[in-house]
Amino acid sequence: DSGVTQTPKHLITATGQRVTLRCSPRSGDLSVYWYQQSLDQGLQFLIQYYNGEERAKGNILERFSAQQFPDLHSELNLSSLELGDSALYFCASSTSGTGTQETQYFGPGTRLLVL
Partner 1 sequence: AQKITQTQPGMFVQEKEAVTLDCTYDTSDPSYGLFWYKQPSSGEMIFLIYQGSYDQQNATEGRYSLNFQKARKSANLVISASQLGDSAMYFCAMREGGGTYKYIFGTGTRLKVLA
CB of 103 to partner 1, least distance (A): 6
Q: Is 22 exposed, middle or buried (0-12, 13-18, 19+ CB in 10 A)?
A: middle
Binding site for partner 1 (CB under 8 A): 2, 33, 41-43, 45, 48, 55-56, 58, 88, 90, 92, 97-106, 108-109, 111
- Minimum CB distance to partner 1 smaller for 73 or for 111: 111
- Minimum CB distance to partner 1 smaller for 70 or for 99: 99
Q: Which of 25, 13, 33, 24 is nearest to 78 (CA)?
A: 13
How many residues would you count in the chain? Answer: 115
CB of 1 to partner 1, least distance (A): 9
CB of 102 to partner 1, least distance (A): 7
Q: Which of 115, 101, 110 is nearest to 11 (CA)?
A: 110
